[in-house]
A and B are shown apart, each in its own frame.
Chain A
């Protein structure tokens, strides 16, 4: 049986009294694209930070390739992170480095390859995202979509078994969006890596995902294949897919006082 690349078991996390995630369990297998969807503030990005060991869960476990992150020291955690690629929402490219040096960064930091080998690898990675021709550009010269693709080339530089994508489609024009989506699918197939795509873009995420988890109010509200989610009658799923203004996620933020009390109007 193939080992899960990543497993979350009953994870709970909060900031002081504010609970962000509660009893979240999921599994990601090699070669699969898992979509984590949910509204803004539902805890999706927090989940990615937990998986990367940037923050620790209050309860439950994050298990990467059979190793619980909580059992690892700093070196162990860094060894795990070297096996995880991460694409940030706006790329998070290093602005003082060129496109080439950005992609070369993880190779220079974590390998002892000579500059010729690094050059070849960087050009191959840039070629995989269709941007070999901009290797000499400064990052300020890139459009939003190009920056995202360069960041993707950097994320796959060390051929990680898990790649995480944080809102990869946010703010992109339709062509760039489709390009990034197809790249995620293609990389998953050619590298055989597991992928987690955090997004609230239903159409494009469902088009490339194998499994979908819907996060609502810090919990996994529903899970299944994209096809199963589309026909689900679960009120959380329906509200999210149909974009209903009111439902399990209320239009009005919770408040202790009524509107009449706030306006000091006698009833």
Chain B
């Protein structure tokens, strides 16, 4: 076999090994996160750190996106004389797509980077090594509680994002433009399917929670233990997690809504 062929083969086997390692790491993290429920205090601390600190950016973004949806939706619907469907349009846009996706992107930028940097700096400061030397598994003690907390936070944050978005749409559409309030709410109630729309939106946010949390923790844990390494890892988290969320969103949307 030629030298180029050998290099290609080695690259392929390296890739397969890395994917296999990543999959095993993911399964281990999931298992340890379940076991970690026995020490809820560790998870609660992380929910405060990850979830609480992400609240402001999520709520403000949700409200602003709701404002924009209210405006854009109204101008589009007015062409067809369907302004009363504004509530339905805003809500479906949020619970099906924008809520889970934008929350996941913001979550990757706010909480994901901080998770990567925190774990990476612990590694650079020999804290991960010290934990191993103290016979404490750092994946169980450091990563798993953060993983569990991120999984719990993501759907809740996405729900709050959507709720604030609907409120934003209402403020612009009803209070500022003058769409009928009764039509706004009744169209929404009548047109939104709990299982198909809300349920699938929640499912998306759960999947994105797994994705962002895993990427952030995996990248941080395997960061080069130098300031440059941590900096590169933090950037990688945003890029990889965002692309993964957008890619998965397309696949999930195709699977969930293709029959409608």
Contact = CB atoms under 8 A, between A and B. Distances in A.
Contacts of A110: 135-136
B127 A81 contact: no
B182 interface: no
A82 B135 contact: yes
A92 B135 contact: no
Interface stretch (A57-65, A83-91, A197-205, A225-233): A83-91
Interface residues of B, number: 15
Interface string B120-134: 011001110111111
A109 B132 contact: no
Interface in A46-93: 52, 54, 77-79, 81-82, 84, 86, 88-90, 92-93
Contacts, number: 49
B135 A88 contact: no
A86 B129 CA distance: 10
Interface string B71-97: 000000000000000000000000000
A94 B135 CA distance: 15
A94 B127 contact: yes
B256 to A, nearest CB: 39
Contacts of A84: 133
A96 B122 CA distance: 10
B122 to A, nearest CB: 7
Nearest 3 CB-CB pairs, A to B?
A81-B135, A92-B130, A78-B135
Given A92-B125, A95-B121, A110-B136, 4 more contacts: A89-B126, A105-B136, A106-B134, A109-B141
24 contacts: A52-B133, A54-B129, A54-B132, A54-B133, A77-B135, A78-B135, A82-B135, A86-B134, A88-B126, A88-B129, A89-B126, A90-B125, A92-B125, A93-B127, A95-B121, A95-B122, A95-B125, A96-B118, A105-B136, A106-B134, A106-B136, A109-B136, A110-B135, A110-B136
